[in-house]
Amino acid sequence: MLSVQKAEQLLSDKGKLLDGMNKYKQIMEALHQTNVSTDADFRRTFNRFFVMCSRTPLYYDKFYSFLQERKDVGATFEEALEELKKI
């Protein structure tokens, strides 16, 4: 979890904040331009940005397959958690 001090530091550093916002925008644009279940560059960028801890290859395959299937229609937080519990 992000501490108050860390949040204040990030918000006060406009360069870092802008960099993060640009990276997020690139990820969201790429999400709809590629097959995220097979695009290794997208997966690497997503994993770094969202700080996904080391998981098994099966976990990543299932996660990105779910993301690919639902990227146009969306999923509730509950639906995503239920799907991830199956892995």
The pTM for the full model equals: 0.74
Rounded distance between C-alpha atoms, residue 78 and residue 83, angstroms:
9
Cβ atoms within 10 A of the Cβ of 66, count? 19
The answer to whether residue 4 scores a pLDDT higher than 90 is: no
Which pLDDT value is given to residue 16? 76
Phi, psi of 60 (to 5 degrees): -60, -40
Phi, psi of 33 (to 5 degrees): -115, 0
pLDDT tens readout for residues 32-82 = 999 999 999 999 999 999 888 788 899 999 999 999 999 999 988 899 888
Which pLDDT value is given to residue 61? 93
Which pLDDT value is given to residue 44? 93
Burial class (CB in 10 A: 0-12, 13-18, 19+), 5: exposed
